[in-house]
Chains A and B, each alone.
Chain A
């Protein structure tokens, strides 16, 4: 059960990271991350399952496609919208529209049925301190630790992180000091797409893929982000663990039909209690 919680938390964490890298830097509440997620999973499926490219190659291709998807949405949807000074809500709705287009295109070409990246294969199960984990789940844990560490390093230490923070705190000032905020924003869109693709592939390997998988996965990631607080990697990590814990152990306490209620009620309560998230930045407008 604890092992399940860790794996579920790792999944939430990656999606949450994909979402917040875009949200924190550009202020776009981006449903398109869900599109990149599903796209990544399906490109991997196409490459590995139909074109018979080795799995590693398929994954690289899929990640490239997902980042390209993130970049393209940023370039042709959000930069124009922001230039027109569309409100953040309009941008959010536009991203939802874009998500729907991608989802329907996938369904159109690939069909509605669920597919597996590893059809018919039995995955080896490892016993670890009394918990049963598949090798894929171990991989998921490793990758999310990598992303967490990398995220921390980029955010705190590297020059990229400095530029990133400069742009997100004051784009005008950043522009004056010779940084092109649009380029940085596009970089973040691509990064979000890439992380979305990573989680799409992880889901595909561990579970199944469907054209509508993106939104479902994204929403829980967003919930974790909001609970943790936007812009806080540690907050996201803690919130992913808490949400995953509730989902796994909530089933023990009450019948699982009510599972959604627990998580979403917690979100509502936290938003009432601490609108910025548990560990979020305490910035207040006005």
Chain B
């Protein structure tokens, strides 16, 4: 049972990451490759606050969200100036910078050797100890994230986001500031990712920088794109698929070095195939239909 619970906890955590990233991808049309950075900032903030400063879990998780939201604000700034592919590379650069800090600021994060001994999360006197209790916490967290995103998207703010995605000039003409909308979305998205990170750190008890490197960002992005952007269900489906499929592979055949590369290649093929056949993802609302004319500078 503990195994199954563990997989479900992971599905909840990565589901929350995908859903919070979709706020940028599905609703603003911004691809970001730095989500794992915010995930990591959340995890490290919780770890440092609870182990080294003895702050209780809930306030520590809250502070983790605040910390990531502030960094998210900074990460969002370039989106005011550059867009599309350019922003992808800028967000990648941001991801690398955050990873390097985690990896090298040894006195704070423990550096490459990792951060051990994160205390068991305690919520109002309740020690979240067993896998089942952790699943409960992770599921509540996922629920909160989904509610927050759903609430935001169906609010007037959500409609402005869609408008920004479709036509920034029009938004400007109606007297709203597209830049402010983008930054607000970045702050929320980063904060929610950090919440997932806090739950991850509390659950695992050990974190290290390699869990938050760029390939994780790519994986979260793939969850959203394969599952389908613009819909909470799509992001969740993507998270379920990319977490559960590799686990199912445990039950099939003998793994070996060859199988590893075959699997990696298969992921690439699946990605290409989904994008060719269902560019909107499996059950997504899809990005906007507009396609940039060839040769136009995307700046």
Contacts and interface: CB of A to CB of B under 8 A. Distances in A.
Most buried by A among B93, B100, B292: B93
A90 B279 contact: yes
B207 to A, nearest CB: 19
Interface residues on chain A, size class: 35 or more
A171 to B, nearest CB: 5
Contacts of B290: 87
Interface stretch (A6-14, A126-134, A197-205, A274-282): A274-282
A284 B81 CA distance: 11
A275 B85 CA distance: 12
B297 interface: yes
A283 B272 contact: no
A170 B296 CA distance: 9
Contact of A25 (B85, B293, B295): B295
A271 B298 contact: no
A281 B287 CA distance: 27
A100 B267 contact: yes
A98 B296 contact: no
Interface string B277-295: 0010000000111111111
Interface in B93-132: 93-94, 96-97, 100-101, 103-104
Given A86-B279, A285-B297, A272 B268 contact: no
Contacts of B84: 88-89
Given A97-B272, A223-B93, A261-B100, A108 B88 contact: no
Contacts of B270: 97
A268 B93 CA distance: 7
A108 B100 contact: no
A286 B293 CA distance: 12
A88 B104 contact: no
Contact of A260 (B85, B100, B168): B100
A286 B291 contact: no
Given A97-B268, A97-B275, A258-B100, A275 B295 contact: no
Interface residues of B, number: 55
B86 interface: yes
Contacts of B289: 85
A162 interface: no
Given A86-B291, A223-B93, A29 B82 contact: no
Contacts of A283: 296-297, 299
A56 interface: no
A114 B53 CA distance: 44
B14 interface: no
Given A271-B82, A276-B299, A286-B169, A90 B93 contact: no
A25 B297 CA distance: 10
Interface in B148-199: 167-169
B104 A258 contact: yes
B271 A285 contact: no
B89 A222 contact: yes
B93 A101 contact: no
29 contacts: A26-B294, A27-B292, A81-B276, A82-B291, A84-B276, A87-B291, A88-B84, A89-B31, A89-B85, A90-B275, A90-B279, A93-B225, A96-B268, A97-B267, A99-B268, A100-B268, A104-B265, A107-B261, A257-B100, A257-B103, A258-B100, A268-B90, A268-B97, A271-B81, A272-B77, A272-B78, A275-B86, A275-B299, A284-B299
Interface of A: 24-27, 29, 77, 80-82, 84-90, 92-94, 96-101, 103-105, 107-108, 167-171, 181, 219, 222-223, 226, 230-231, 257-258, 260-261, 264-265, 267-268, 271-272, 275-277, 280-281, 283-286
Q: Which A-B residue pairs are the 8 nearest by beta carbons? A: A100-B268, A97-B271, A104-B265, A264-B93, A283-B297, A97-B272, A101-B268, A168-B295
